[in-house]
């Protein structure tokens, strides 16, 4: 297939919208990661997404909208209690547009393939301007998973999409690197208690500030508690995309606490991925003290050392923005394994740690 690769512009967005209306697939930037979009009402186009990504049919897609008016077309509001509606509107007011996907009863016009047979659909209103314009111009809602082969690293640049899916889709819109770098938070508000199904760009703490306690139902493939019967169709996973092993680079990855990381011995064919500059410096210092024992020297030139730091200052947003980017780069590096340091478990750190843990399985 001949794919068109174009920077975001008025013309390319028009062209992309036309492709979506014709049932084609377009990769486009969002504030989180690049999405692989198709018309959410076109079952055939949706089937192509699963085929191209090699994605199991039990893993439902997120449906993207660019106005609150469209919400009614993709959901069935009549199934929501007044209380849930109130929560929905305060969440939408505070976090939309933005990196939050809300699980809601689906509209019957959305084909079952989009939601893997579930009676609910995850709905997201992205804040990225190009994404909004594309959705508006297409005149429909856009189903879009991350634009990567199933289970592999998520794309935070148009080039990542081109490398892995370039020959299988109609168009890639290049909007440069994404800002947040991890996917949206998935929140189920259909039940009595509100549940986080995937940590992501909207921190749990911020959601709790607005609507009170939120339960964690971030599944690990074994998870089974509290699922509706509809969800049993998807292998008993609350959020089927949350398989234990996911977001994986093509190299073994091991994750450590700060203390463990600093104690790791030097290995010439490993990459060391520090969360912050101070941990990296502490590690380097400890290794220098061992230099007398020949550690660095016997293993080769010091410049062969592959060191990366997510954020010099240890800022979680900066770290999440480059997480997948660095992992994509290391995938291509001549190293045989990756040692990575956990982020602090707060704010976006929860999403970063979730992705690192899954990448390590
Ligand atoms: O940031 C994002 O959310 C990106 C961009 C492109 O918007 N999209 C994305 O999609 O990450 P995807 O397909 O890679 O992940 C969708 C996640 C999966 O874990 C899936 O299981 C969950 O959302 N999900 C979708 N519909 C659901 C539903 N009805 N109930 C529970 N989980 C659902
Ligand atoms: Mg994905």
The CATH code of the domain that includes 183 is 3.90.870.10
- 265 in a domain, yes or no? yes
- Residue 233 CB neighbours (<10 A): 16
For residues 228 and 268, state if they share a domain: no
Last residue of a domain, one of 234, 267, 284: 234
Q: Give the model's pLDDT for residue 303.
A: 46
Q: Give the model's pLDDT for residue 273.
A: 97
For residues 147 and 280, state if they share a domain: no
- 248 in a domain, yes or no? no
Q: Does the C-beta of 242 come closer than 6 Å to ligand 1? A: yes
- 246 in a domain, yes or no? no
- 22 in a domain, yes or no? yes
Residue 208 and residue 185 in contact, taking contact as beta carbons nearer than 8 Å: no
Ligand 1 pocket test: which of 56, 241, 323 has the largest number of ligand atoms within 8 Å of its C-beta? 241
Q: Give the integer Cα–Cα distance in Å for 251 and 326.
A: 13
What ligand has the least distance to the C-alpha of 233? Answer: 1
Number of structural domains, the chain?
A: 2
* Average pLDDT value for residue range 325-347: 94
For residues 159 and 41, state if they share a domain: yes
Q: Does the C-beta of 55 come closer than 6 Å to ligand 1? A: no
Q: Does the C-beta of 146 come closer than 6 Å to ligand 1? A: yes
Last residue of a domain, one of 234, 267, 297: 234
Read off the pTM. Answer: 0.91
Residue 287 and residue 293 in contact, taking contact as beta carbons nearer than 8 Å: no
User: E strands along the chain, which residues?
Assistant: 4-7, 26-28, 35-39, 62-64, 100-105, 120-124, 142-143, 171-174, 185-188, 195-198, 215-216, 253-256, 270-276, 306-311, 337-341
What ligand has the least distance to the C-alpha of 32? Answer: 1
| Residue 164 CA to ligand 2 centre (angstroms) | 14
Evaluate if residue 314 carries a pLDDT over 70.
yes
For residues 277 and 191, state if they share a domain: no
What ligand has the least distance to the C-alpha of 153? Answer: 2
- 241 in a domain, yes or no? no
Last residue of a domain, one of 234, 264, 282: 234
For residues 35 and 163, state if they share a domain: yes
Could you read off the pLDDT of 233-266 as tens digits, one per residue? 444 556 655 666 778 888 999 999 999 999 999 8
Q: What is the mean pLDDT of the chain?
A: 91
- 239 in a domain, yes or no? no
Residue ranges making up the domain that contains 279: 253-359
Strand bridging mode 120-124 / 100-105: antiparallel
For residues 225 and 307, state if they share a domain: no
């Amino acid at each position: 297939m001949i794919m068109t690769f174009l920077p975001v512009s008025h013309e390319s967005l028009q062209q992309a919208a036309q492709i979506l209306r014709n049932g084609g697939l377009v990769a486009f930037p969002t504030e989180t990661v690049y999405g692989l979009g198709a018309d959410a009402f076109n079952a055939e186009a949706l089937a192509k997404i699963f085929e191209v990504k090699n994605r199991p049919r039990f893993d439902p897609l997120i449906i993207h909208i660019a106005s609150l008016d469209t919400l009614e077309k993709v959901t069935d509001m009549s199934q929501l209690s007044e209380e849930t509606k109130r929560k929905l509107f305060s969440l939408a007011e505070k976090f939309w547009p933005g990196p939050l996907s809300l699980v809601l009863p689906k509209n019957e016009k959305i084909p079952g393939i989009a939601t893997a047979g579930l009676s609910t659909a995850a709905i997201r209103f992205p804040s990225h301007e190009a994404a909004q314009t594309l959705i508006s111009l297409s005149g429909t809602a856009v189903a879009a998973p991350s634009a990567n082969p199933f289970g592999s690293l998520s794309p935070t640049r148009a080039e990542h999409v081109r490398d892995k899916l370039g020959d299988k889709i109609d168009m890639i819109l290049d909007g440069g690197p994404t800002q947040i770098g991890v996917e949206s938070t998935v929140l189920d508000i259909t039940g009595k208690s509100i549940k986080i199904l995937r940590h992501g760009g909207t921190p749990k703490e911020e959601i709790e500030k607005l609507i009170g306690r939120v339960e964690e139902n971030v599944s690990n493939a074994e998870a089974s508690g509290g699922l509706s019967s509809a969800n049993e169709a998807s292998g008993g996973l609350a959020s089927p995309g949350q398989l234990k092993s996911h977001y994986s680079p093509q190299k073994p990855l091991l994750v450590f606490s700060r203390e463990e990381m600093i104690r790791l011995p030097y290995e010439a064919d490993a990459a060391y991925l520090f969360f912050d500059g101070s941990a990296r410096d502490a590690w380097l210092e400890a290794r220098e003290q061992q230099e007398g024992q020949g550690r660095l020297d016997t293993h080769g030139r010091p410049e062969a050392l592959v060191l990366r730091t997510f954020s010099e200052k240890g800022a979680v947003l900066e770290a999440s923005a480059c997480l997948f980017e660095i992992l994509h780069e290391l995938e291509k590096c001549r190293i045989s394994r990756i040692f990575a340091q956990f982020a602090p478990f707060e704010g976006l750190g929860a999403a970063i740690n979730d992705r690192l843990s899954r990448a390590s399985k």
